[in-house]
Each structure stands twice: as C-alpha cells, then as structure tokens.
C-alpha cells in the first residue's frame, strides 16, 4: 500500500477526457472500499453519475473543494492503512488576480500541509474555461500529472516555497514614515494600527476587531520565534490593509491560513494571505472600509490586489 500524500493535476479539454480520468479513479476507490470525495462542477458530477450508475451513490460529494482536511479527519482514521481519494476541482473563472494567486499558493502548500496523510487527490483543470496561465500554474504546483489512467511526473513542478516566492514580493511603502518597526512592544504596535485604521474603517467596533486580528497575527509570529516585524497599515481600494513582514525565518511547523491559532483573524478579515519560507514571512490582512461598503460584489471582485 502506498503511503503519503499524492497530489496530481489533470488537464482536460473534453467531457471524454474528464471521464477517462474520473471514472477509473472513483471505481478503483469503490472497489478497494476507500472513501471517495467528489468536489467538481455540477456538469461533471452529472457526467460521473451517469457513467458510474448505482455506484455513484456510494461517493461523497461537496460543493466546495476546501474541506480536504476535515474529510480526512472524518473518513481517514475509519479505514486503517487505506487511502482517501479526493477529486477536487476549483472554480477559476471570474476570479480576481489576487484570489487566483492565493488559490495557486494554496495548491502548492497542500504538498506540505497534507504530507502526513494518505490522501490521493486529483485536481482537474478544464482548458475550455481555465486560462492558460492557470493551467501552467497547475503544472508547477502538482508533482504529478494524470491523463486517463496514465500518471507521469510533472517536469515543471517546483518546491512549494519556491512557488510562493515566485508569486509574492513584499510591498514597497511610500516612505519610511509609513512603517512601524515592531520589536516586542505589542501595546505600541496595536496603538499604531488603531491610529492608522480608524479613519478608514466604518465603526469603532470594526476598528477594534481589526486591531484584534492584527494582534493575533503578531502573537503568532512571536510564538514562532520572530522578534522584529515591519508593519504597514494603509488604505487600498476602500479597504484597510495591514502588511506584516519579517526577514526572520519562523520556527516550524509552517504557518498557513488554516492555522488554528489564526482562527479569529480568518473570521474577522475579508482576506488573510500568508507567504512563508526560509527567508522570512509576509502576512497581509484586510477589512472593508467606508468606500468598499458602497461597492457592489461584482466590482469588489475586480479590485485585484496583488499578494
């Protein structure tokens, strides 16, 4: 029995190509009594159900592909020694550049985050609707590519930390006056955040919540051995954005968005992006301000912050 996380990309351009991969993947799992989770488009679910017949009722289904760890926690231990199979297809159309990059970085990080599991995950990419640049990113974030039953190593795959560096660079502030140098005084840095965020955010309680989120992130960095952080708070497209950057490497394990210690920040903020490697860590978090509340959801998606 193979062990460890197996992460494959499947680039397809027709219904037949999708089924050539998905049907044997699901059928083999059912035959071996392995849990199989399918998170793909409604059209692909219909195709798979028609191809599998009654066997389709033995699969698990999810509308979103981001519940991988929960599925492993729920189904993995119930099948000692066996794999858990996941077919996970993200929706890429209509997404802002910031969200695309964040999702690509997440795909890369899965190679680290799930390394201790026996998950076999295939991530399909439909070239009929997915942009070529995203398909190229898939080849760089998945160690293997699958076509039908055939699997081969991805020649373009790069290490997750290298991929993160290629997608992220610390932002350049307008001047040194925009920055706050944190060197251990949590009270001072949170006072700075309040001062900068108050004119941008809508209400006093919103400012307080943002301050809590920034404080939680700083506490997590300190917990990981960081003693100095550059903090930059500014307005951007009607939002208050706080970027925290340190050139000190973090103590393991790797820090990521799903870290339990950042639960509050994830709940409070509109987004929380993390890029961490041996050269340091950059974290960006944001909340809507007055102007953003007057912006329609469709327009917000077009704001396209870089990460």
**Residue 251 DSSP label:** P
- CATH 3.40.50.300 in the chain, residue ranges: 6-166
Cα separation values, 184 from 28, 31, 220, 301, Å: 54, 56, 12, 36
> Range with the lowest mean pLDDT among 6-15, 241-250, 267-276?
267-276
The contacts of residue 130 (CB under 8 Å, 6+ apart) are: 92, 93
Q: The pTM is what?
A: 0.64
State the CATH architecture for 6-166: 3-Layer(aba) Sandwich (3.40)
- Higher-pLDDT residue of 307 and 63 is 63
170-301 is a CATH 3.30.565.10 domain: yes
Label residue 258 by pLDDT band (50, 70, 90). Answer: low
Enumerate the H helices of the chain as residue ranges. Answer: 15-31, 42-52, 68-75, 97-113, 132-141, 160-167, 186-197, 204-223, 263-268, 290-293, 297-301
| Cβ neighbours of 208 (radius 10 Å) | 15
pLDDT tens readout for residues 146-168: 999 999 999 999 998 888 777 75
- CATH 3.30.565.10 in the chain, residue ranges: 170-301
Q: How far apart, in whole angstroms, are the C-alpha atoms of residue 208 and residue 168?
A: 29
- Which residues share a beta bridge with 210? none
| DSSP code per residue over 190-249 | HHHHHHHHTTTSSSHHHHHHHHHHHHHHHHHHHHTT---EEEEEEEETTEEEEEEEESSP
Label residue 263 by pLDDT band (50, 70, 90). Answer: confident
pLDDT tens readout for residues 221-235: 999 999 999 999 998
Query: Backbone phi, then psi, for 131, in 5-degree steps?
Result: -65, 150
| CA R_g for the chain | 21
């Amino acid at each position: 029995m193979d062990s460890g996380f197996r992460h494959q990309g499947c680039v397809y351009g027709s219904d037949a190509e999708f089924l050539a991969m998905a049907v044997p993947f699901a059928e083999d799992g059912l035959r071996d009594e392995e849990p199989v989770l399918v998170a793909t488009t409604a059209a692909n679910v219909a195709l798979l159900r028609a191809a599998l017949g009654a066997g389709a009722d033995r699969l698990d289904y999810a509308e979103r592909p981001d519940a991988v760890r929960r599925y492993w926690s729920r189904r993995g231990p119930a099948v000692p020694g066996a794999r858990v199979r996941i077919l996970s297809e993200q929706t890429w159309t209509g997404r802002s550049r910031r969200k695309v990059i964040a999702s690509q970085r997440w795909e890369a990080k899965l190679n680290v985050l799930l390394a201790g599991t026996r998950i076999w995950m295939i991530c399909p990419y439909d070239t009929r609707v997915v942009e070529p640049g995203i398909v190229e990113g898939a080849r760089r974030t998945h160690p293997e590519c699958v076509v039908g039953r055939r699997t081969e190593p991805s020649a373009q795959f790069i290490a997750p930390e290298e991929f993160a560096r290629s997608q992220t660079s610390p932002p350049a502030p307008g001047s040194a006056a925009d920055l706050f140098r944190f060197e251990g005084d949590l009270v001072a840095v949170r006072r700075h955040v309040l001062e900068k965020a108050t004119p941008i955010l809508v209400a006093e309680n919103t400012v307080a919540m943002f301050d809590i989120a920034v404080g939680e992130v700083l506490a997590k960095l300190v917990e990981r051995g960081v003693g100095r952080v550059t903090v930059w708070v500014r307005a951007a497209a009607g939002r208050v954005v706080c970027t925290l950057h340190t050139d000190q490497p973090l103590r393991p394990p790797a820090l990521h968005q799903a870290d339990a210690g950042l639960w509050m920040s994830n709940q409070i903020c509109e987004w929380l992006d993390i890029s961490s490697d041996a050269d340091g860590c950059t974290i960006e978090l944001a909340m809507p301000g007055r102007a953003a509340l007057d912006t329609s959801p469709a327009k917000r998606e077009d704001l396209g912050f870089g990460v």
